[in-house]
Structure 1
Amino acid sequence: MKNLKYIFLVVVGLTLYSCDEDLLDVKNPNTLTEDQFWASAEDARLGVNAIYAMQYKPGLWSRWIYFRYDLTSDIGYSKSPWIELADWTRFQYINYNFWEGQVQTWRDHYKAIYRCNQVLANVPDIDMDETEKQLILAQAKFFRGFYYFNIANLWEDAPIVLEPSSPEDLPEKRTQAEIWEQVVTDMTEALAVLPPSWDDANVGRPTKGAAQAFIAKTYMQQHMWNDAKTALDYFFTGEGSGLYSLVPNFKDNFTHLNENNAESVFEIQFSDANFGGGDGEVPNASMGNNRAQFFAPGGIGWSDGQLRHWVVDEFKKELDQDGNLDERLRHSAIYSELEADFGDKTYGRDWQWGPDDAYFRKYQRDYYRDNEDYFSQVNLRLIRYADILLLYAEVLNELGNTAQAYQYVDEVRARANMLPLATAYPAIGVDQDLFLERLKVERVLELCGESTRWMDLKRWGDLNTQARVDAIALRDPDFNNFVVGKSHRLPIPQVDVENNPNLDQHAEY
């Protein structure tokens, strides 16, 4: 998967200087048109690989989406000198056409969906092995659902495009509920074909487990708890039982040394093979992750993204069974007391930070180098089994099975050598509200910096009332800018609104 090649399909217009209309039929022998391309099994493979290539685009998982999911939430923030960039992490949306903070992410989502639609429209007519064909179509459906999942979380109401589009198309805006429905449709159809696992040559492609995870997350965001449980049952009582487990070393989930391990449900495959290749539509385009460069401390990276220090403080509230600090803290955060707490000198340097400074350590490469760049090869574990365990506990609690939910939280805690939840917090008992409040903390300790928190806050309703937002603002002052009924979603890029009469801006903007 790290060596996937891709092709960007375009129709090339010819600029001709003769008035002889016959010359208009001349075809460029060095460039395939769309009609010429979709003819062979190899074309189908290249077409689906083009979908994977979108993961490396700056609007998606190589760069900007972390600003939306991690920094906008209450665990992250930005003090970037690039004021407009920082403003988009603190709900100050002035320029709806801000390229890096908004337009590029919107564009790349729909560009990825376009590539999915090309595969789904053209591959069925290709004469090729039927089993391989169905697997290619299933991957395209998975990724179309995957990108609509993000759109529903970030913008909520947006167009649904299910056919290869053209510049003349003016798709209508659809509701978030309709987009959620499309996610479930695509993921369910993919689920029927995707394998439980792939062979070594294809590791990193989506599996049944990945599809079930996104189906479950989609239902959970809508509080459809029974449906979510049915999807998550796959991992515990269904076909996926026994396929996944927590790796012994928490750190192994965030380095390039133990990727696609037993804990990985779905991860983005990064590589530094095309070092310096850029992000354009060229054969040697970069397949690296820029996150480490943008989130590393000053002098190492750009420091555009930081971790709220309250997360560090939360880790320190409970010691492990041996009376030591939670080991997850040393692999989750870079902060001024890190050396004193664990003996770690990140990047081999002595840092002079203020008491409130902290950075995300996950996906940083200080475990083997003393600088960062734009080409990190560390895979992004987008869904881990630890996340699945905590989601299952949440669903069981919502369904009134709080006593049964404890075991799934305890499995995550046990790896960190923490006491069982009932022993550490006996006052919770089977009180659903108290259990959920503690689960919110457990998810921070296990998953901080893994692009889950923004969705969590929305699912829990913590962004729905002024009282709840005020409580968040006590630990993240950026939420003093949050406007209930508005800031829970991004505005649609204004350039798209102005160019499409069927696409209205969100009423609150």
Structure 2
Amino acid sequence: MKKLLYILSASILLGLSSCDEDFMDTKSPDQLTGDSFWRNVSDAEAGLAAAYSQMECATSYWGFAEIKFPVEMYPSDLVRIGGDAYNYEDWLSIYNFNVNSANTQTTSYWNIHYKGINFANQVIEKVGEMTEEQIDQAKKNEIIAEAHFLRGYYHLKLLLAWEKIIVRDAYPKGLSDIDKALSERTECWDFIVADFAKAAATLPGSYDSANVGRVTKWAAYAYLGKANLYRAGEESANSGEYYNAAKTAFAEVVNSNNFSLVDNFISMFDGTNQNSSEAVLELQLSNNTDNGAWFKFPHHRWIKPKGLYGWDEIAGSAFLLEEFKKEGKVATDGRYDHRLYGTLFFDDDYFNDSDNPRVYGYTFREWWDASSTAYDYTGFRKYLPSTREELDAYSHGNNMPLMRYADVLLMYAETLNELNETAAAIPHINNVRAMHGGLPAMTGTDKAAVTAQIEHERICEFAMEGSRFHDLRRWGKLNETMAAHGRSGVTDASHFFPIPESEANSNNNID
């Protein structure tokens, strides 16, 4: 997708939404409008690039980290807030589960995702109106399918954060179109599932090297499965229907034989193995700044520990470290779960080997504080670049995995287990454990044991990837688990963010 992202800044498309209300009588004959822009395949690709551009809030230099990470990472028992984060009231309110409707981070998150939806709707409608003389039919169908995926993706991200959202199935053409009521969750799930299904039915399974990173049919199936699995956790009366739909979607990905787990866990996050055999969908960033391009951010500075001159915004919780260690040093090389070493820096012989100092040329104790005897700090390693030079740079453009094959396998295993196909679920769990953790096969063979194992694997596999809070909520374990791990303040009322004040003020159909 990097090639597409160079084509058009998303800001251009903002000005292309036509409006029924005429504010000016005179129009420039050479200025592009929403009606005149969509002329050929290049315009269609440019419009699609704008729809991609809002993914993961990677829309501004500072905002990428300071919107995405507080909103998605702070509501979790796997993290603790860093010292500098106490300087930001709106970040702190997310961490403490007392967000109000004026919170700047959640408001920005809402607005960015709806901007992406708006761009996707423009592509669906305007490319859909293009003639065969303007664009080849197969290419037209492919671009529209990508836009359906992106529209579903943005709606899904919103629905995981808010109890009710506005289903936007068309871009506003006038001020009156802005007013639209919130939809019930069942309607939202139906809409999201339909968009992913449309995408999966049309998208190709792969692209050439110039278009790596674009959404494939396998990504669409993976998210179709995820949507149905998460929905099943909310709607118990119809859970069997959704579990079966999830099983069918995940099986498409697994049986495609297009993906395999990588054996070096950290390589998927430090820039050394981008778009790997495990990448189902990956946010495409770049360190290349040719011709003024800029798709790199200082998010590593937000994540990296203060001992490495980071901003000290987030660290791993004591519970996360305990969960990683609870099986003991049972890996094939006598260490803990290998994912631990790829996720956290912590006080361990692995990081304190003076002959092989693995903390960017230091041992853990040298890096942390040579005069200290308290080495209980657990800083995140995941997403930090591989070299000291990149670490010290003000920004970097290493890709960020969004959907990994490991997630597909663990969600597939969960789905099979819920459908009482427990024996079929266990090999997928063991595959992830062996390849990423260097671990022996799980013990236990009944449904309850597999359920518990899946929770453990999801903690170790996806720490700092934003799934924990949603997992606990869909499993019905959120309040009790967070309280047990020292995160007080979680009540049923704080499971979702409040509708932003700016939305309520501008939309007459929201109270």
TM-score normalised per structure 2: 0.86
Among candidates 269, 279, 288, match of residue 296 of structure 2: 288
CA drift at 1:344:
4.2
Does residue 421 of structure 1 match 2:442?
Answer: yes
How far apart, in 1, do the equivalents of 2:423 and 2:398 lie? 38
Does residue 70 of structure 1 match 2:70?
Answer: no
CA drift at 1:51:
1.1
Among candidates 311, 325, 329, match of residue 320 of structure 2: 311
CA drift at 1:116:
0.3
Contact kept? 1:289, 1:375, Cα under 8 Å: yes
Does residue 248 of structure 1 match 2:257?
Answer: no
Q: Which residue of 2 aligns with 1:124?
A: 128
Q: Which residue of 2 aligns with 1:425?
A: none
Contact kept? 1:63, 1:290, Cα under 8 Å: no
CA drift at 1:9:
2.2
Does residue 184 of structure 1 match 2:193?
Answer: yes
Does residue 389 of structure 1 match 2:409?
Answer: yes
How far apart, in 1, do the equivalents of 2:192 and 2:120 lie? 13
How far apart, in 1, do the equivalents of 2:439 and 2:231 lie? 32
Among candidates 414, 424, 427, match of residue 404 of structure 1: 424
Q: Which residue of 1 aligns with 2:151?
A: 144
Contact kept? 1:60, 1:109, Cα under 8 Å: no
**Matched letter for residue 112 of structure 2:** D
Aligned CA distance change for structure 1 residues 387 and 26 (closer, same or farther; 3 Å): closer
Contact kept? 1:213, 1:388, Cα under 8 Å: yes
Contact kept? 2:299, 2:395, Cα under 8 Å: no
Contact kept? 1:10, 1:33, Cα under 8 Å: no
Q: Which residue of 2 aligns with 1:454?
A: 469
Q: Which residue of 2 aligns with 1:481?
A: 489
Q: Which residue of 2 aligns with 1:17?
A: none
Contact kept? 1:300, 1:371, Cα under 8 Å: no
Gaps of 5+ in 2: 233-241
Contact kept? 1:292, 1:373, Cα under 8 Å: no
How far apart, in 1, do the equivalents of 2:76 and 2:114 lie? 24
How far apart, in 2, do the equivalents of 1:26 and 1:263 lie? 50
Within a 5 Å distance, the mapping from 1:165-176 to structure 2 comes to 165=172, 166-168=174-176, 169-176=178-185
Q: Which residue of 1 aligns with 2:482?
A: 472
How far apart, in 1, do the equivalents of 2:376 and 2:180 lie? 46
Gaps of 5+ in 1: 14-20, 276-282, 423-427, 464-468, 505-509
**Matched letter for residue 488 of structure 1:** H
Alpha-carbon RMSD: 2.5
CA drift at 1:11:
4.3
Does residue 90 of structure 1 match 2:95?
Answer: yes
Aligned CA distance change for structure 1 residues 486 and 345 (closer, same or farther; 3 Å): same
Q: 3-state DSSP class of the match of 2:415?
A: helix
Q: Which residue of 1 aligns with 2:28?
A: 27
Q: Which residue of 1 aligns with 2:237?
A: none
Q: 3-state DSSP class of the match of 1:265?
A: strand
Q: More deviation in 293-302 or 342-351?
A: 342-351
Does residue 157 of structure 1 match 2:164?
Answer: yes
Q: Which residue of 2 aligns with 1:364?
A: 384
Q: Which residue of 1 aligns with 2:332?
A: 321
Q: Which residue of 1 aligns with 2:352?
A: 340
Aligned CA distance change for structure 1 residues 53 and 10 (closer, same or farther; 3 Å): closer
Q: Is the helix fraction higher in 1 or 2?
A: 2
Contact kept? 1:347, 1:369, Cα under 8 Å: no
Does residue 378 of structure 1 match 2:398?
Answer: yes
Q: Which residue of 2 aligns with 1:134?
A: 141
Q: Which residue of 2 aligns with 1:57?
A: 59
TM-score normalised per structure 1: 0.86
Q: More deviation in 192-201 or 53-62?
A: 53-62
**Cα offsets for 1:199-254 (capped at 9, x unmatched):** 111110011110011111111112121111111111234xx2x1110112222211
**Matched letter for residue 510 of structure 2:** L
How far apart, in 1, do the equivalents of 2:164 and 2:361 lie? 47
**Matched letter for residue 66 of structure 1:** F
How far apart, in 2, do the equivalents of 1:433 and 1:89 lie? 33
Among candidates 432, 453, 458, match of residue 438 of structure 1: 453
Does residue 47 of structure 1 match 2:47?
Answer: yes
How far apart, in 1, do the equivalents of 2:477 and 2:75 lie? 14
Aligned CA distance change for structure 1 residues 10 and 113 (closer, same or farther; 3 Å): closer
Q: 3-state DSSP class of the match of 1:244?
A: coil
Question: Aligned residues, how many?
Answer: 470
How far apart, in 1, do the equivalents of 2:337 and 2:185 lie? 39
How far apart, in 2, do the equivalents of 1:370 and 1:201 lie? 25
Aligned CA distance change for structure 1 residues 157 and 95 (closer, same or farther; 3 Å): closer
**Cα offsets for 1:99-138 (capped at 9, x unmatched):** 2x21110000000000001111111222211111111101
Contact kept? 1:50, 1:115, Cα under 8 Å: yes
Q: Which residue of 1 aligns with 2:236?
A: none
Does residue 110 of structure 1 match 2:114?
Answer: yes
